[in-house]
Structure formats: C-alpha cells, structure tokens
Chains A and B, each alone.
Chain A
C-alpha cells in the first residue's frame, strides 16, 4: 500500500484555535530515526534500525506500521520507496507527539532537511556555500544570497496535505521566518561588501539598506506565498519560526515589519517562535505585531532545576511580565523543557514553571506550554520522556488550579 495525500483530512479540527488554557504543543523539529536517514541515503540498515522502527511503531500505535517494516526489509529501495519511507517517518513523528498527549502537533519536520536548508533549497536566489557551526558540534548548511529572492513553489504543501489526512490533533505548521532566512544567509547580492577602502559609515548604511530590502523581499516573495498556499489547503495555525530575530539589536523593527508583511490580511492563526535570545531586546518592538496571536518562547534553558513558583526560583522566566503586557494580549507558549540536555524535567518542575507563568499572567487563559525549541538534538527516548512529563506537569498544574 502506498500512502498519498488526500484532498481533505478525516480529523481536521474546527472551532477557535489557541483558546484552551494551558494548551500543550510541540515546537518543530524531532530527530530523524536512523531507519529513515539510512534508507533515504541508500545505506544498509541494521537489525537494530528495523527493531527501532518496530518498537516505536508499536509503542506509538502507528496504524499499519508493519508495512514500513516490510518496506525496510527489502534492502535496496527505489525513489518511490524512499519517498514512502519519508512519509512513514512523518506518520511516526505525528504519532509521537499525539501519543505523548499534546494538544497541537506536527510531524517533527521529518520531510525537511533542516529548517533553514529546506527553505533556501526551495527558493530562488540562494546558493549553499558550506557548513557553519551553530553551537557545540552542531552545524548547519549556510547559503549565500546571489540573486533576487523568490519562491520556486510552495514548499510545505505536500507535507501538510499528507499530515492532515492522518492527524487526530490540531496541526500547527512550522515555517521558517523571513528575518531568520535572511540573517542566516551571506549576502552576495543585495549589499555585497568587498571594498573596505570605502568609509565605514557608508558601508554600514549600504549594509543596512541591503538587509532591509533582502528581509522584506523574503517576507513578501517567499514566506507570504507559502502561507497563502497553506491556508488555501486548509491550514489554520501557522508558526513562523524566528530563532534569528534578535540577532541584530537595532533591527527588531525590521523583524517586526517582516512578520507583518508575511501575514497581514491573511486568514489564519499566526504565532512566532523565539529562542535563545536576550528577550528584553524584543520590547517594545514586538508590540507592533498585532497579527501574532501567540509568542512561543524558550525559557527553561536559562532557568534552574529547583522547584518553586516564586520569581527567585524561576530566574529563566523573568521577562514574562513584558509578554503579559503586550497590547494585543497574545497567548504565550511558555518553554518548560530545555532541549539541549538529556535531563528529563520532572512533572513537578514543569508544574512549577507553569504555575509561575499563570501567576504572572493572572490566569491560565493566555498560557500555553511547550518545549523551549524543537527536540531534534535529543534521542526519541529522551524527547518522549520529556514531552510525557510536560503533559503530566500540565495536569498537575491544572489540578493545582482546579481546572
């Protein structure tokens, strides 16, 4: 049996989005299983790889996963069979989050190479230049902008159309945002800088003008058409990922402008994901993002592991009041899982982080709960344990709040 995307999903959610108090969701990426990586790369699978597929298929209750095992057992796979393996990986990812008990899910970006590379490979005007370190031993492929940027074809439609057929929970599609795509790229086109004999102030001004043009053209010519295509397919919640948003402290207004240019006038529930930043930098600029219904922000990375619901016990969450006071009263996706460590946060720690956020916000209505970021650097065992504890911690918080 092959798996194909149908025109309508059997379980497409309806009703208002994001209004559930203490709604839980994932953020984006999940590690790709070894069987998926090796099969697609044409490398031989070990018995352990196939056992891993069997174990998780059974544990997550992925319907029909024995077909995957049969596929993996064939050895050499043709292009269509490799495509099928990727689709199975998406189904596993979807089931992973649903089985962990999350309210809002996706597939862990199993179809994509990586959040940045996937986008630039499907857009015009970018050329990959090589790998660059992000942190520790983690690297990403970095591109240079070499021409006017534009969309080749909407690059999330296929995965979304596939997932909506299988999803039981609400789907949230992660889309890498314009500012991040521009910021993570070298600029060899809009304001190439090769002549240091020019006065530095002149070069800085050219650089600034070039970046502005680049960021806004990515927003208008790459991101927005993608969003329009997804909405046409029935997408409701789209998360604009902007981990690079605070890179340049004096460009927060440009980030905001690019978000607005991407979503303004479109009919969807738009959120944005920010992580590993000095969040104070975002204020007051992000008050202008009235189209952003939820900010999803990583905090646990900078918090202690001690229990407690006081400000002293929760130093990683000191900026919460600023999000609370945003004029458009968006929800806040509160990051409660540090995605850079195998430490599995106990439910009680999650509970206390949630209760502290609820206390700051004066109620649970605008508080959502999520990991700090995508979990792709963790093993599935660790990621699953973290998510299960996150859901359990939210239940403890609900008990404490009487909801």
Chain B
C-alpha cells in the first residue's frame, strides 16, 4: 500500500544572530524599525531557501516575529492581555501569559497573517484551544470555566485566525498541543476539545493537525485518535512507536527529530524511527516533522535538523511508494 509522505517545519523557527541583534538594537534605540523589518525579511528568505533545498512540501514562515506562541494572538484580541512571564513547560524559555480580561475575540486579524514572501502551499501554526485555555490566567474577578474558555478561544480567536491564514495560502493548520500529554485532562474536557476541533475544522478549507509534544502520547493515544482532525502528531522522543497502535484512520505527524537536543540526528537512524512509526500506525498519510518546534535550538542546529527532516521524508516517501 502506498502512503503519501510530506515534510514541514512547525512552530517558531530560531532567529539569526543578525536579527537578534537588530531587535535588541531597536529596543535600545540604536536602529530603526525599517532596518529591523529588512532583517526579518532576510531571515524569512533564508528560511524559505532552507525549506526549498531540504525538500519540504509545505512552507512555514517560521513565525519569526512571534515572541511566543500566544503573544500575537493576545495582542490581536479583545479580552486578552499578555502579562508576566511563565516557563514554557520544562524549558528555559518563557511566554507572556495571556490573561483573560473580557470575552476573548480576535479583533485585529491582520496581526496574525502569514508572511506573503513564503511560497505556497503554506503551513500555519497556532496553539491548540485546550492548551490556550489551560495556560491562560483569569483577571481578578473573572471566573470562567476552562472548558467554556476552550470553546470561546477556539471559536472566537483561533478559528478567525485560521481563516485569515487559510485565505493567505495555508493548506495545513498545525495546532501545538503539549498540554494533553503533560497533564491529566478530564474526560469531559476531551469531549469539549473534540467538539471545539470539529467546529474549528468545519469549512476551514485546510487540513488540521493536532500535534503533541514534551510528553508521552502513548497513554492517551486512543483519545487522540478519536479527535476530529486530519492528523495527530506525536513526539517520538517521548513516545514509543509500539504505543501508537495500528490501523490509524487519521494521518500521522511523526515527530522524529529532537527539537531539544543540539546533536543532529543521523538520517539513517531517523529514517528507521519514522518507518517504524508508519509500520506500526499504518496511517493513510504521513507528515515528517520534529517532536517539538525548533525555537529551543540555535539557528545553525535547527537548519541542520531541517535538512535531516527533508532527507528522511524523501527516503521514506521512496520506501512507501
């Protein structure tokens, strides 16, 4: 049986040292906005070239201007405000916690639009609604049920953002969902997540991926596979291939490159991991990607790992043709 294989990068891609210096200089009044924008454009060009050379099937803009996965959404929405710093899972990277101050609704969709320098087909990354609803803090005096918040964020913030992204050429929306594999989630909340994802994907005009990372997907794999999305992603650094189960009816995102290690994987070994995952799950289609996004790596390491991903996808595609 032939299984289509594609590759893409998800999440925030590391900035170049030159861009890091430019943003720092801007904050210190040593350069102007135009110079920084030019640097962003050059980084984006370089990232596009990397993806093209590596043979990626979908192009990411690397969310280069995003400081964290929530910040632009909080900035672009009524009823949400970015506040203090909170650790991003077990890393030394921090995000501005989105604080619910009212009824969240995306009010400035232009702020989440994809960079049009990036070729099509494009992939967009957003936080999963469950993750978003769990990390958010509630402003003093606000008492909102987390599942109610989940629905609200999915319907009024994330879906409008996805509509903008799809209109901008994105054919895949990748939802980052580390929460469900790192925290206990009540059965009712799984159902709420399922309902919210169903509504999120209905009529969107793009595939939807729910990608787990930072944790072992094995214990919740049946829950994940029952969700109404086009593909489920697993972080194979944390998840055993055997725990995936077989005969998947959804696509599989094989997170087979470690986004948290500076050691660049060998293509042969990584190919073996991806192949084992496919042989176990037997999904209708496969995306090859990283376990976590590459923003926890220096850019040079991320570039090397991106090349590995492309090569693994190419060879896996040949094997499964």
Contact = CB atoms under 8 A, between A and B. Distances in A.
Contacts of B148: none
B23 A196 contact: no
Nearest to B295: A133
Task: Across the A-B interface, give the 5 residue pairs with the lowest CB-CB distance, nearest first.
Answer: A130-B298, A186-B262, A135-B94, A137-B23, A301-B84
B140 A200 contact: no
Interface stretch (B102-110, B168-176, B269-277): B269-277
Interface of B: 14-15, 17, 20, 23-24, 27, 67-68, 84-87, 90-96, 140, 216, 236-240, 256, 258, 261-263, 265-266, 269-270, 272-273, 276, 295-301
A129 B296 CA distance: 12
Interface residues of A, number: 43
A131 B298 contact: yes
B226 to A, nearest CB: 23
Interface string A33-49: 00000000000000000
A208 interface: no
A142 interface: yes
Interface of A: 129-137, 139-140, 142, 144, 183-184, 186-188, 192-197, 199-201, 203-204, 244, 246-249, 276-278, 301-302, 304, 315, 338, 340
A276 B258 contact: no
Contacts of B15: 133
A247 B87 contact: yes
Central interface residue in A136, A183, A201, A278, by most chain B CB within 10 Å: A136
B92 A247 contact: yes
A209 B236 CA distance: 20
B97 to A, nearest CB: 9
A12 B299 CA distance: 46
A45 to B, nearest CB: 13
Given A130-B300, A201-B240, A301-B84, A244 B94 contact: no
Contacts of B256: 196
A196 B20 contact: no
A196 B258 contact: yes
Contacts of B27: 137
Contact of B24 (A129, A137, A142, A244): A137
A64 B262 CA distance: 48
A196 B237 contact: yes
A64 B40 CA distance: 45
Contact of B261 (A131, A183, A193): A193
B85 A340 contact: yes
A129 B301 contact: yes
A144 B92 CA distance: 14
Central interface residue in A184, A197, A276, by most chain B CB within 10 Å: A197
Contacts of B269: 194-197
B88 to A, nearest CB: 9
Given A133-B14, A188-B263, A301 B85 contact: yes
Given A133-B14, A196-B237, A196-B269, A276 B86 contact: yes
A129 B86 contact: no
A304 B137 CA distance: 13
A276 B85 contact: yes
Nearest to A196: B273
A201 B263 CA distance: 20
Contacts of B93: 132-135
B263 A137 contact: no
A142 B14 CA distance: 13
Contact of A247 (B91, B236, B266, B297): B91
Contacts of A338: 84
Nearest to A250: B90
Contacts of A183: 92
A193 B263 contact: yes
Central interface residue in A130, A244, A247, A277, by most chain B CB within 10 Å: A130
Given A131-B17, A135-B67, A200 B84 contact: no
Given A194-B266, A196-B237, A315-B140, A134 B92 contact: yes
B278 to A, nearest CB: 14
A142 B300 CA distance: 12
A194 B266 CA distance: 8
Given A137-B20, A144-B262, A196-B237, A277 B87 contact: yes
A136 B88 CA distance: 12
Contacts of A134: 92-94
A196 B236 contact: yes
B312 to A, nearest CB: 12
A189 to B, nearest CB: 10
27 contacts: A131-B298, A131-B299, A132-B297, A134-B94, A136-B68, A137-B23, A137-B24, A186-B263, A192-B261, A192-B263, A193-B263, A194-B266, A196-B236, A196-B237, A200-B237, A200-B238, A204-B238, A246-B87, A247-B87, A247-B90, A247-B91, A276-B94, A301-B85, A302-B84, A304-B140, A315-B140, A338-B84
Nearest to B89: A247
A340 B95 CA distance: 12
Contacts of B84: 276, 301-302, 338, 340
B99 to A, nearest CB: 11
Contact of B276 (A197, A244, A315): A197
A304 B139 CA distance: 10
Nearest to B302: A130
